Amino acid sequence: MSSSITLRDVGQTFLVRGDDDRQLREFVALDGVDLEIAAGEFVTLVGPSGCGKSTVLDLVSGLTKPTSGTVSIDGTPISGPGLDRSVVFQQYTLLPWRTARGNVEFALEAAGIAKRERAARALDYLELVGLGEFANRYPHELSGGMKQRVAIARSLSYEPGVLLMDEPFGALDAQTRERLQEELVGIWRRTGTTVVFITHDIEEAVFLGQRVAVMSSRPGRIKEVIDVDLDRQTAENQDLRATPAFASYRHRIWSLLREQTLQAARPEVVNRVA
Ligand SMILES: Nc1ncnc2c1ncn2[C@@H]1O[C@H](COP(=O)(O)OP(=O)(O)OP(=O)(O)O)[C@@H](O)[C@H]1O
């Protein structure tokens, strides 16, 4: 099961206090953001720090509402959070007093899944992320990568149409990160869920995304969306990251981001509120 996502002419303005006079001002975080994500697609979102990536994810999750424009799931405007969407953050956010299985079951309980179904389903999803044998371990008995896999299992367990991931591998070491990237591609293929994945890491964006959306900052907009046409199936046993095609995508996105970073050096645009 998967859902499409549409952002149409989306703007998000926050009220912030000026550093100098402490007056309230409008800060335009997003302006005119347009993005269409098809059901079942894997899209990565990159952009300079503070360009509004998490703000976009918050809007799709329904935690916040846009100041202007519309954000829709399967053509229906989002009115708040829902079980059709699930978010994985950089911090694992597991309950320390529950086992891996207990953490997944907790989400299933909140989603209203019948008690008799919860234990089996939790185990199925822990197996999907390769943690079937660790179901009875507590978070403090798991490595960082394992904790993040539990968080992914928990998010997928109630079978959302959309999985939103905000730098989920940002706190992991390079090797664990690469392994989880490969596993995530496998999980995405098996579940067919639409994935929107935020990252600062260009290689991660190219490796994972069927398309990479590059954002510009101040105000945040989608600057360019790049189709990544890499043969991931035949490359399964090769080092995809070492291929010339991969390097070429990496360089293209690096160049776009460099332009953005140079532009971001100018002062922020804020409008004073009367
Ligand atoms: N609730 C809020 N109130 C005021 N300003 C906010 C709020 N949320 C975000 N911002 C501002 O909006 C801009 C975009 O923030 P956001 O967290 O979306 O950026 P980001 O691209 O995810 O950043 P990073 O890559 O550093 O995580 C930033 O300038 C931030 O300070």
Cα–Cα distance, 147 to 166 (Å, whole number): 15
Alpha carbon 183 to its chain's center? 15
CATH 3.40.50.300 maps onto the chain at: 5-84+164-272
Q: Are 197 and 7 in contact (CB under 8 A)?
A: no
Q: Does domain 5-84+164-272 have CATH number 2.60.120.580?
A: no
What is the CA(30)–ligand 1 centre distance, in A?
10
Q: Residue 227 corresponds to which tokens in the numbers above?
A: 């189709």
Smallest Cα–Cα separation from 55: which of 219, 267, 187?
219
Ligand 1 atom closest to Cα of 57?
18
Ramachandran region of residue 231, left (φ > 0), alpha (ψ -120 to 50) or beta?
beta
- 234 ligand 1 Cβ < 6 A: no
What is the CA(48)–ligand 1 centre distance, in A?
11
pLDDT tens, the chain, 274 aa long: 789 999 999 999 999 887 777 788 889 999 999 999 999 999 999 999 999 999 999 999 999 999 999 999 999 999 999 989 999 888 878 999 999 999 999 999 988 999 889 999 999 999 988 899 999 999 999 999 899 999 999 998 988 999 999 998 888 888 888 888 988 898 899 889 999 999 999 999 999 999 999 999 888 999 999 999 987 766 566 788 889 999 999 999 999 998 877 776 665 555 666 5
R_g of the chain, CA atoms, integer Å:
19
Smallest Cα–Cα separation from 208: which of 238, 244, 169?
169
Cα–Cα distance, 231 to 210 (Å, whole number): 11
Q: Are 176 and 141 in contact (CB under 8 A)?
A: no
Angle among Cα 148, 151, 156 to the nearest 5 degrees reads 130
What is the CA(64)–ligand 1 centre distance, in A?
13
- 257 ligand 1 Cβ < 6 A: no
Instruction: Give the closest residue (by CA) to ligand 1 atom 25.
Output: 49
Of 13, 53, 271, best ligand 1 pocket probe by most atoms within 8 Å of the beta carbon: 53
* Site of tokens 């969306």: 225
Of 51, 197, 202, 215, best ligand 1 pocket probe by most atoms within 8 Å of the beta carbon: 51
Contacting residues for 204 by C-beta, under 8 A, at least 6 apart: 44, 169, 177, 181
Q: Residue 145 corresponds to which tokens in the numbers above?
A: 């990568």
DSSP symbol at 267: P
The model's pTM is 0.90
Q: What is the pLDDT of residue 270?
A: 59
Cα–Cα distance, 71 to 10 (Å, whole number): 7
Q: Are 102 and 95 in contact (CB under 8 A)?
A: yes
Instruction: Give the closest residue (by CA) to ligand 1 atom 14.
Output: 52
Q: Are 60 and 74 in contact (CB under 8 A)?
A: no
Of 14, 25, 89, 271, best ligand 1 pocket probe by most atoms within 8 Å of the beta carbon: 14
ipTM above 0.90, yes or no: yes
